[in-house]
């Protein structure tokens, strides 16, 4: 199996630099932000595929080709998000089928492999979407870039790709895994993680508010105690002053009486 197909390169030789550049940009975006924009990619891919199939069906039926194509594309686009898990099941099952057939050509009961792969694709929907978008992005971008280089440099791209198929397959796998890591870094946090962070921040604010309230209460109590102590001190000072004054008056009185 070859990920970079020589026949596709031969058919794409007539593309302009604008078309190859656009395909390379689409492949780069799929590779880098596939999961972040996965709803857009699902709707875009299903709508485009349904539109192409609708145009082909309209031509075969001999009716209004454009009307049939537009109606099929719009209908598929409206149902695209609901069909995302079905698409994940189909791609996961197909990938498992192809891998099992490549590793074990004489294997039987491949329908079980298809079902297992489809279930894995649905259960690991996020990871599988990252893998699929990264792989498709690498394949599209590399086909576009090799086609552009084929138009600029004097070499036969299909023959070169056929001679270096193993190295290109290994490069596609390595860059696909790198794309998954890039998507993990660029994707937004999961809803549960974000909710946990917000809850922790809210708890921290409440704890800080309680600490401030307790500190204010403690400060109020200390201030009250200080005032109480001052009042007590003033009372004690007045009392002792009265005692001193009383003893002085007593001495005076007794002294006068004695005199």
Where in the chain are the domains?
6-188, 190-259
> Of 230 and 3, which is predicted with more confidence?
3
pLDDT digits (tens, 9 = 90+) for 53-97: 877 776 666 666 677 778 878 888 788 878 888 999 999 999 999
pTM comes to 0.67
- Does residue 135 surpass a pLDDT of 70? yes
Say what the pLDDT of residue 60 is. Answer: 67
> Of 182 and 258, which is predicted with more confidence?
182
Say what the pLDDT of residue 59 is. Answer: 67
How far is it, in rounded angstroms, from Cα 155 to Cα 176? 27
Say what the pLDDT of residue 69 is. Answer: 75
Cα three-residue angle 81-82-87, rounded to 5 degrees: 80
Say what the pLDDT of residue 257 is. Answer: 40
- Among the residue ranges 5-19, 47-61, 87-101, 102-116, the one predicted with the least confidence is 47-61
Q: How many CB atoms lie within 10 A of CB 202?
A: 10
Say what the pLDDT of residue 254 is. Answer: 41
Say what the pLDDT of residue 190 is. Answer: 61
- Does residue 256 surpass a pLDDT of 50? no
Q: Identify the helix (H) or strand (E) that includes residue 78.
A: helix 65-78
- Among the residue ranges 67-76, 106-115, 122-131, 239-248, the one predicted with the least confidence is 239-248
- Does residue 241 surpass a pLDDT of 80? no
Task: Give the pair of three-digit tokens for residue 251.
Answer: 């001495």
């Amino acid at each position: 199996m070859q990920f970079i197909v020589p026949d596709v390169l031969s058919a794409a030789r007539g593309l302009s630099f604008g078309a190859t550049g656009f395909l390379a940009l689409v492949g780069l975006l799929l590779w880098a932000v596939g999961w972040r924009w996965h709803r857009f990619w699902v709707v875009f891919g299903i709508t485009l595929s349904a539109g192409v199939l609708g145009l082909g069906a309209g031509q075969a039926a001999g009716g209004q080709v454009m009307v049939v194509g537009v109606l099929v594309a719009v209908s598929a686009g409206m149902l695209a998000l609901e069909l995302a898990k079905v698409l994940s099941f189909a791609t996961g099952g197909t990938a498992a089928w192809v891998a099992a057939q490549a590793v074990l050509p004489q294997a039987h009961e491949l329908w079980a492999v298809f079902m297992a792969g489809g279930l894995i694709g649905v259960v690991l929907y996020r990871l599988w979407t990252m893998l699929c978008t990264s792989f498709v992005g690498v394949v599209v971008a590399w086909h576009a870039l090799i086609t552009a280089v084929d138009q600029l440099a004097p070499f036969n791209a299909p023959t070169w790709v056929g001679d270096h198929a193993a190295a290109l397959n290994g490069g596609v796998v390595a860059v696909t895994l790198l794309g998954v890591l890039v998507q993990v870094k660029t994707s937004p946090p999961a809803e549960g993680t974000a909710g946990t962070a917000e809850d922790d921040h809210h708890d921290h604010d409440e704890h800080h508010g309680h600490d401030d309230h307790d500190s204010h209460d403690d400060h109020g109590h200390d201030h009250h105690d200080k005032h109480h102590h001052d009042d007590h001190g003033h009372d004690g000072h007045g009392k002792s002053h009265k005692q001193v004054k009383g003893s002085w008056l007593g001495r005076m009185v007794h002294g006068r009486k004695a005199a």
